[in-house]
Chain A
């Protein structure tokens, strides 16, 4: 199980920051932190591995593992030291009480255990299905062995510099970023051989993290239904053991949105004052926990950048999230959080830019394309009709035979929530909607055969957005269900609070309760 140690080492080093920043945690926050630490660990360690390989230290050598272990030991020690220093500076009187920062909503109904228990059964069966798939196809799906694990083999075996040869294999998408291949090569380095367990374990970690992040971001019984909805979509579930990069990308997208707009991590910034449960929040200004809160902004920046380091589609996501952060900074006239987000993203984005500019050949999607050609394709109604027809067909059949139109239906609910609830839900829906628009434009302007391009990829593109879509819908439902004090309308995250979007109109009802307008 050296593969598991390889994954746990950076996760523990990063977990020190998350755990020590939050102090005493609820079980829910601990689960969220663990999931996030594992994803961030894989992401950051892939950058370290890429740097080592690029500097001539082969993953098959003992030096690679020794340097990697030393790196993460230093990171853990520095994290411990910096968080200890921050805690010692923090006045004790202002320390938030653990119970106040993680109010667990009381379960409702006669059998509050029933829904969590049912979700537990669903999760166990889903995990068994993932394990069975991994055992049946140990090398993963077509794209896994033709692209991701193949690149990993080049990185692992090509210690003499021949790893660069994969950049010349045009059909193997050599322009794809290295998060997944470098992570697999690193796990193999720890294992000492190319075990099929390594990539399978990474795939499972990302799948479990996706579900954990959604479930822990939400409150009450809804979280179990959200988790069930996520796993019930068989297209998503079957992509988890595929060892492709779509579920990892989905994980980084949902992690960014959960950290930015959600409340699940419950990482109070040093010195923040958390309102006690049930208290009204006086005004927009007091919603901000602490303008100096660094951790959520750093985390959001890092996870968004890791989306771009995972797959090219992630570049669109990181640009959209950067735009959101800029809007927040401008509207609040405070750029500190934007700077912290950039600081979190910088190490990863440097790796992305370095890879794209100095190593990767141009993408097949843009090679040979000119503005005239792109405009001609964009103005061709036949191409639009073909793409719409194919995407609609696949979207309706997504997760069939047991689901019909599940993705379009959940998307419609998200739009409804965006209109009804506004706030974070509206921004999240907008981000996901713009991602879909970007995918659509790529399809319409593709230099490849449209039918082939759409039919071979659209299901996986929807998988990338599925966890984030479920989170968006259930954050919206949470907001409508729990009234104005919900976590969505009073976000802990500074970024969410900074978006001073128009509040949904509130009216005083005859009974004197506050109700939301349409």
Chain B
């Protein structure tokens, strides 16, 4: 390869790299608040009401349960509450309920449960009532 061509390609690569990293830096600094950290704070507030290990229920959203933000809520619940295992079922002693997960006019899935803890944004832990 000719030296002049090599120099030209080198110059292009270096300038391109400089522009790229500056843009990446600017984008990193303009990143918004971390939703994971916010959700973690919510679930951390609930952890005191839960057993230290074992399975914990999580109420499915009535609609659009597989929507990205709802999947994230469930996953962050698991991330925060480890080593408990958060499962999408309600036949357990404790069930976590997101603010918009339960049906508005009383949710049949929560019959027999009572709320025992609530976070700042309205995430709740329900415990099965003793018979």
> Which A residues from 144 to 165 make CB contacts under 8 A with B?
145-146, 149-150, 153-154, 157-158, 160, 162-163, 165
A125 in the interface (beta carbon within 8 A): yes
Write out the residue numbers on chain B whose beta carbons fall within 8 Å of the beta carbon of A232: 13, 16-18, 20-21
The 0/1 profile, CB within 8 Å of B marked 1, for residues 321-333 of chain A is: 0000000000000
B20 and A233 within 8 A (CB)? yes
The yes or no answer to A386 lying at the interface (CB within 8 A) is no
A162–chain B nearest beta-carbon distance, Å: 4
B5 interface hit (Cβ, 8 Å): no
Q: State whether A122 touches B37 (Cβ < 8 A).
A: no
State whether the Cβ of B113 lies closer than 8 Å to any Cβ in chain A. Answer: no
Q: At the interface, yes or no: A500 with Cβ under 8 Å from chain B?
A: no
Interface centre among A145, A149, A166 (most CB of B within 10 A): A145
Judge whether A118 and B14 touch: CB under 8 Å: yes
Tell me if A237 and B40 are in contact (CB < 8 A): no
The reply to whether A402 and B85 form a contact with Cβ atoms under 8 Å apart is: no
Tell me the B65-81 residues at the A interface (CB within 8 Å).
72, 75-76, 78-79
A153 x B83 contact (CB < 8 A) = yes
Give the residues from 15 to 52 in chain B that come closer than 8 angstroms, CB to CB, to chain A: 16-25, 27-29, 31-32, 34, 36-37, 40
Distance in Å from the Cβ of B116 to the closest Cβ of chain A? 22
Residues facing B in A401-459 (CB within 8 A) are: 402-403
| B1 CB-CB contact with A under 8 Å | yes
Contact A150 B78 (CB under 8 A): yes
Is B92 in the interface zone, CB < 8 Å from A? no
Within 8 Å by CB of B1, from A149, A163, A480, lies A480
Which residue of B is nearest A237, CB measured?
B24
| Residue from A128, A157, A231 in contact with B83 in the complex, judged by beta carbons closer than 8 Å | A157
Choose among B14, B32, B76 the residue that contacts A145 (Cβ–Cβ < 8 A). Answer: B76
A165 touches B83 (CB 8 A): yes
Complex Cα distance, B79 from A153, in Å, reads 8
B84 contacts which chain A residues (CB < 8 A)? 165
Q: Does A228 contact B (CB under 8 A)?
A: yes
Q: Give the docked Cα–Cα distance between A90 and B50 (Å).
A: 64
Nearest CB on B from A440, distance (A): 27
Would you call A137 and B36 a contact (CB within 8 A)? yes
Q: Are B25 and A129 in contact (CB under 8 A)?
A: yes
Q: How far is the CB of B83 from chain A (nearest CB, A)?
A: 4
Report B29 CB to chain A, min CB distance, Å.
5
Complex CA gap A221/B14 in Å reads 12
In this complex, what residue of B is CB-closest to A221? Answer: B10
B17 touches A228 (CB 8 A): yes
Chain B nearest CB from A218 CB (Å) reads 13
Contact A225 B21 (CB under 8 A): no
Is A101 on the interface with B (CB-CB < 8 A)?
no
Nearest B-chain residue to A129, judged by Cβ: B25
The residues of B that contact A172 with a CB separation of less than 8 Å are: 78
In the complex, what distance in Å separates the CA atom of A273 from the CA atom of B111?
82
Q: Is there a chain B Cβ closer than 8 Å to A168's Cβ?
A: yes
- Asked if A145 and B75 sit within 8 Å, CB to CB, the answer is yes
Q: Contacts of A171 on B, CB cut-off 8 Å?
A: 75
A126 to B20, CA, bound (A): 9
Report if A146-B75 is in contact (Cβ < 8 Å); known contacts: A133-B31, A165-B53.
Answer: yes
With a cutoff of 8 Å between Cβ atoms, the chain A residues found around residue B13 in the complex are 225, 228-229, 232
- B31 touches which of A125, A136, A153, A160 (Cβ 8 Å): A136
CA of A133 to CA of B23 in the docked complex: distance in angstroms?
13
Residues from chain B with a CB closer than 8 A to the CB of A146 are 75, 79
A394 interface contact, C-beta 8 A: no
Whether a CB of chain B sits under 8 angstroms from the CB of A485 is: no
B-side contacts of A168, CB under 8 Å: 85
The answer to whether A138 and B34 touch (CB under 8 A), given A225-B13, A231-B21, is: yes
Q: Give the complex CA separation of A69 and B53 in angstroms.
A: 29
Are B24 and A238 touching (Cβ within 8 A)? yes
Within 8 A of A (CB), among B50-66: 53-54
Q: Does any Cβ of B come within 8 Å of A281's Cβ? A: no
Which residues of chain B are within 8 angstroms of A165 by Cβ–Cβ distance?
A: 53, 82-85
Please, how many angstroms separate the alpha-carbon atoms of A145 and B82 in the complex?
11
Alpha-carbon separation in the docked complex, A166 to B72 (Å): 17
Task: Note all chain B residues with C-beta closer than 8 A to A290.
Answer: none
Please name all residues of chain A whose beta carbon is closer than 8 Å to the beta carbon of B27 when the two chains form the complex: 129
Q: Tell me whether A150 and B82 are in contact in the complex, defined as CB-CB below 8 angstroms, given that A145-B36, A237-B24 are known contacts.
A: yes
Contact in complex: B21, A125 (CB < 8 Å): yes
Given known contacts A158-B83, A165-B53, is B34 in contact with A402 (CB within 8 Å)? Answer: no
How far, in angstroms, from A172 to B85 measured CA to CA in the complex?
11
User: Most chain-A CB neighbours within 10 Å: which of B28, B40, B78?
Assistant: B28
A163–B85 CA distance with the chains assembled, in angstroms: 10
What are 27 pairs between A and B in contact, CB < 8 Å?
A118-B14, A122-B14, A125-B22, A126-B25, A129-B24, A130-B28, A132-B28, A136-B31, A136-B32, A137-B31, A139-B40, A145-B79, A146-B75, A149-B79, A165-B82, A169-B78, A228-B17, A229-B13, A231-B17, A231-B20, A232-B18, A234-B24, A237-B20, A237-B24, A399-B20, A403-B16, A403-B20
Other than the given A129-B21, A403-B20, 16 more pairs (CB < 8 A) read A125-B18, A133-B28, A137-B31, A139-B79, A146-B75, A158-B83, A162-B83, A171-B75, A231-B21, A232-B16, A232-B18, A238-B24, A241-B28, A402-B20, A402-B23, A403-B16
Ranked nearest first, the 6 interchain pairs of A and B with the lowest CB-CB distance are A232-B17, A129-B25, A136-B31, A132-B28, A228-B17, A158-B83
